Every structure is written in structure tokens, then in C-alpha cells.
Amino acid sequence: MRSEDLTARARIRDAALAEFGARGVSGTTIRGVAQRAGVSPGLVQHHFGTKDGLRAACDAHVLEYIRAETRSGLDEGNIGEPAFIAEVYASSPPVMRYLARALADGSPGAAAVFDELVDLTERYLVDSPGLSDARTRAIVYTSMRLGALVLHGHVSRQLGVDLLGPEGASRVGLATLDVVAPELLPDGLAARVRDALARYEQGEGR
Amino acid sequence: MRSEDLTARARIRDAALAEFGARGVSGTTIRGVAQRAGVSPGLVQHHFGTKDGLRAACDAHVLEYIRAETRSGLDEGNIGEPAFIAEVYASSPPVMRYLARALADGSPGAAAVFDELVDLTERYLVDSPGLSDARTRAIVYTSMRLGALVLHGHVSRQLGVDLLGPEGASRVGLATLDVVAPELLPDGLAARVRDALARYEQGEGR
DNA sequence: GTCTATATAATGATAGAC
DNA sequence: GTCTATCATTATATAGAC
């Protein structure tokens, strides 16, 4: 996945991902993207038309990436695990940075990610007397889990390590287990996840 | 607090607050702020010098606002209550919208708010064997509580009501109680807060 | 596919009249 | 304090050469 191996189009898209993630939509310039990708501004527009087209391409790419990660999480039956999201954090920092910014800025792709995560979360919640309905809890729980991502800059500053790296992600994943109500987690999940995180920290993770 | 009662300077600051909150830093233009405030672009720069000066003024105003709200929360001993933050949400939507954007964009004032909330939260957490240290849990807990604010657009869309209004704020405050680990809440807090929220919904809230 | 102009528009900031 | 020019910069987007 080194940049030399990619086509110019893919390099431009990755550069745009990084720029959008770092500076936001309106703070990003086509010139900046071109410079980061090592091409001319004209080439950027040749491939993506307009700045908004470039943005849409990034959105689509991130949405597909998250869907793939989510699917693999579902296959393993661990979508509800706080550690799962931590693993996703560390899997591709540029994508996560873009997603964080897009969630705050508002974009169709980010909205889709949010909505789909709410749906997935709701499946793992059961209605219970005296509690808010499962849907509302799923919405709030999703926003809370994503909170650490959107605020990764503040979390990383306070933690002293990058949340989007293996160490930060696992520490936050672990702490999340202590902060979330146990009813939200399937039976025995906490112990299982603590094991997985320990193994992950030993370098057996992706 | 109607805009006609305010000095032009205060009106410009409020307009900037709204623009920054809605469009982000780089998406906001001095012309846009001037138009919203009903003054000329020149007057904006007469009062605040540069766009960055305007931004700093908003930052300072919001930081002071949050500190005052936090202090009043401390006086009542309820800073740890999820319902408290819900009350703050509904207290001034424009300020909260600015804060949400600034937390995601990154600004000195927003960073100060985050750091101070972590400090306040840590006071209410006790170290416990088998759990992450109190500081780490405070960081994660703070980022999760603020997650709903930063993602208020998504939360509101899913909820069907504005999170920054009384109904949305109380619904989310209530659901937060069901999502957060009970150890994080002082004894009897949940019941107390549910009462307070019920009263709040009846219109006895601010 | 990739580049170099270039047209056109918008923005931050300044200067000076009232 | 408030406004109307105006400047210099920078941005998107287009056209066309290679």
C-alpha cells in the first residue's frame, strides 16, 4: 500500500482523505491535495471534476471501508465489543481521521456510517423495563462510542499516546469496558475482550 | 437577550458564534458574519481586527460560559450527573453548537473545556482493582459524554427531535443513565436524576 | 494522462469618508 | 462607531498543449 504502488488517481484520493481529515472540507484546497499527492492541480480536476466530486469519492471510499470492517466484525459476532471499534481505529488512521471530521462536519457517507452503526447496535440491545427503549439507547451508545473517535485529538493529548495507534486504541477499548453499563455487553464479553486486548498488545493483532 | 438590546459588538460576536458553529472556522467568512449581524464587513474588522481575532473572542466567550455553567453544577454537586450535561445542552444552543464544532475542529478554548471536564470527572471516580486507572476512565468517559454533543446532528436526526432542545436533551440524559456503568455514578444518583428529569420535562427546568 | 496557462470569483484586510 | 471603496491574495474551474 505504499504510495509508489498506487495509481495517480488513488494517490490523489488518499491525499484528499488526509487533507479533508486534517483541515475539514472548506479548509482543504485542491492545490493542497495536489501538492500532497505530488501532482498538478489540473490533474486532480481531470480525475474528480470538482472539489465536491473529490469529497464524494472520499466519502464513498470511507463508507465502503467501514462497511467491510463492520461486516468482518459481524462475522466474528463482536460488533458490540468496545474492543472491536478500537481495532478499527488502529486499522487505518487516515480513514478514521477523515471519518471523524466528516461525522462532525456532516456528510452523506458519515451519516450513513452513523445510521448503520445505530442499526447494528440496536440488534444487540434488548428492551428492559425501567430503561429507555432499545432504539434510543442504541443512538446514545453509538454517539458515545464514536465520541472518542471524533475527539481523538483531545483524547490523545490527555492520554499521551495517539488514540489511532495500537496502544491508544487498546487502552481506550479497555477503559470503555469500565465505563459502559454491563447490560450492554453480551455475557462474558468483558473477560473475553480483556484477553483479546492483552493478546493484541503482544503484537498478535493485525 | 434579544438582538436589538445588544451592542453591535455583541451582536457581531453572537453572529460569529452561529456562523462558526454552522460552517466551521474556514467555512465562515467575515462577510457572512457581517450579513447575519446586520452590519458592514468593515465594522466586524473594526471591532475584532482579524478573522482569527473574532474566533478568539468567540472561544473566550464560550469558555467563560461553560466555566460558569460548570461552577453552578459543582455548587449543586451534580457535575457527574449525565442529566447535568443535558441541561447545559439545552441552556444555549448557539454556544453548544459552537463548542461542538470547536471540539472537533480544535481550538484553545475547546481544548481547555475538554481538559477541565476531565479534571472534574476524575474527582468523582475512585480507583478500583481490575479497572483502568481513574484518569484514563475520566478521559474516556468525558469523550463519551461529549460525543452526543459533537454528533448532535446525527443524534437529533435519529431521535427525531433536536438534542439541543429540552425534549432531546432530557431523553438523551435519561438514556445516558442506562448506558453508563453504575459505578461511575454516585449512590442513588440514577433515581435522583430520573426524578429531576421528570420535573424538568414538566417545565420546572430553566 | 499529465501538465501549464488563464479566466473568474471570492476572501481577508486596509484606507479613508462621514 | 459605522460605512463604502479598494487592494492583494487565493481559490475553483476551464482550455488547451504535450
The alpha-helical segments, DSSP class H, found in chain B are 8-23, 30-37, 41-48, 51-75, 82-91, 93-105, 108-123, 134-150, 152-159, 166-179, 189-199
Crossing angle of the two packed helices B134-150 and B152-159, in degrees rounded to 10? 60
Inter-chain CB proximity B178 and A137 less than 8 Å: yes
Under the banding of pLDDT at 50, 70 and 90, the label for residue A206 is very low
Q: Is A180 helix (H, G, I), strand (E, B) or coil?
A: strand
Inter-chain CB proximity B179 and A184 less than 8 Å: yes
Whether nucleic acid strand C comes within 7 Å of the CB of B23, the answer is no
- State percent of chain A over pLDDT 70: 88
Give residue-wise pLDDT tens across range A44-87. 999 999 999 999 999 999 999 999 999 888 877 677 777 777 88
Nearest protein residue to nucleotide D2 (CA to C1' distance) is B43
Closest nucleotide (CA of A39 to C1')?
C2
Minimum distance, in Å, between the CA of residue A168 and any CA atom of chain B? 11
Exposure b/e, A145-161, CB count within 10 A at least 16 = b: bbbbbbbbbbbbbbbeb
**Would you give the DSSP letter of residue B26?**
T
Cα–Cα distance, B128 to A194 (Å, whole number): 16
Inter-chain CB proximity A148 and B150 less than 8 Å: no
Q: Strand D footprint at Cβ < 7 Å?
A: A 28-32, 41-42, 45-46, 49-52; B 7-9, 39-43, 46-47
Under the banding of pLDDT at 50, 70 and 90, the label for residue B205 is very low
Nearest protein residue to nucleotide C3 (CA to C1' distance) is A40
**Sign of the C-alpha dihedral computed for residues A21, B97, A60 and A150 taken in this order:** positive
Give residue-wise pLDDT tens across range B24-38. 999 999 999 999 999
pTM for the structure as a whole: 0.94
Under the banding of pLDDT at 50, 70 and 90, the label for residue A197 is low
Q: What is the DSSP string of A80-140?
A: T-HHHHHHHHHH-HHHHHHHHHHHHH--HHHHHHHHHHHHHHHHT----TTS--HHHHHHH
Inter-chain CB proximity B139 and A118 less than 8 Å: no
